[in-house]
């Protein structure tokens, strides 16, 4: 048995936009420490250049839009300043992902008109379809993958999706491993991939600053060549 991929996944989208998005980063287990080192070196640079502490969580919907004060720099104290800083940090992160040979990315999405409970259930179905897509690919390749994600495991959709795979030909190992994103640089980058994919699809004027981020930084690193409708 060959475990060929460590996969870190997070979700994005919203009921208001009618979009459900999952984005991920992945790496070969043998090269995992090199992928992590690239992100840790990035965090050192962000501290030197922007005073963003290495332990500060980078949650895209917050820091990119200036709702999270991620730096200790007094000069970035006003709202527009935090937005400018957040977007600069996001670009540095995307440049690191794009430039790291040990990191690949992926994303899937589905439009929906469902709202409320229906939207939540559809999000679970999209994840199930994603897990089946991964499983089919690894079964064909004769390899296996292990999945990690943000959260504490209280949402049953994720565990149920993994356990829905027939055991006899299951190539996605175990239930997903849940991490507190504050403690995982890899999960934080998966969140950024999901967010970047979402804003590339949800093209309202407030997202114009990031419309081209996915095409510019991520598409060439994408296992599918671009975000996949699922």
Q: Quote the mean pLDDT of the chain.
A: 94
What integer pLDDT is reported at residue 92 of this predicted model? 97
Please provide residue 151's backbone torsions phi and psi, each rounded to the nearest 5 degrees.
Answer: 125, -175
Q: What was the pLDDT predicted at 76? A: 47
pLDDT of residue 31: 96
Q: How far is CA 126 from CA 34, 68, 131, in A?
A: 31, 29, 9
Work out the percent of the chain whose per-residue pLDDT is above 90. Answer: 87
**Architecture of 3-229 per CATH?**
2-Layer Sandwich (3.30)
The predicted model scores a pTM of: 0.94
For the chain, which residues make up each domain, given as ranges?
A: 3-229
Q: Encoding tokens for residue 175?
A: 């239930």
Q: What is the DSSP string of 13-72?
A: EETTTTEEEEEEEEE-GGGHHHHHHHHHHHHHHHHHHH---TTS---HHHHTTT-S----
The C-alpha R_g of the chain, in whole angstroms, comes to 17
pLDDT digits (tens, 9 = 90+) for 69-126: 898 865 545 667 888 999 999 999 999 999 999 999 999 999 999 999 999 999 999 9
pLDDT in tens, 131-184: 999 999 999 999 999 999 998 889 999 999 999 999 999 999 999 999 999 999
């Amino acid at each position: 048995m060959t475990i060929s991929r460590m996969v870190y996944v997070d979700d994005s989208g919203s009921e208001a936009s009618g979009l459900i998005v999952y984005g991920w980063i992945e790496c070969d287990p043998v090269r995992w420490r090199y992928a992590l080192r690239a992100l840790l070196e990035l965090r050192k640079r962000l501290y030197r250049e922007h005073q963003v502490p290495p332990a500060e969580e980078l949650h895209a919907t917050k820091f990119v839009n200036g709702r999270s004060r991620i730096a200790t720099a007094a000069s970035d104290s006003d709202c527009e300043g935090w937005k400018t800083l957040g977007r600069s940090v996001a670009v540095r992160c995307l440049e690191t992902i794009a430039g790291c040979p040990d990191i690949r990315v992926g994303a899937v999405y589905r439009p929906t008109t469902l709202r409320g409970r229906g939207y939540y259930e559809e999000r679970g179905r999209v994840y199930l379809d994603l897990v089946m897509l991964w499983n089919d690919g690894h079964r064909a390749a004769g390899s296996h993958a292990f999945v990690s994600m943000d959260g504490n495991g209280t949402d049953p959709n994720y565990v149920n999706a993994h356990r829905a795979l027939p055991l006899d030909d299951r190539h996605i190992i175990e239930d997903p491993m849940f991490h507190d994103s504050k403690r995982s640089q890899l999960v934080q980058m998966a969140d950024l991939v999901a967010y970047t994919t979402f804003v590339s699809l949800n093209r309202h004027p407030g997202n114009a600053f990031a419309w081209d981020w996915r095409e510019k930084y991520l598409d060439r690193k994408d296992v599918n060549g671009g975000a996949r409708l699922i």
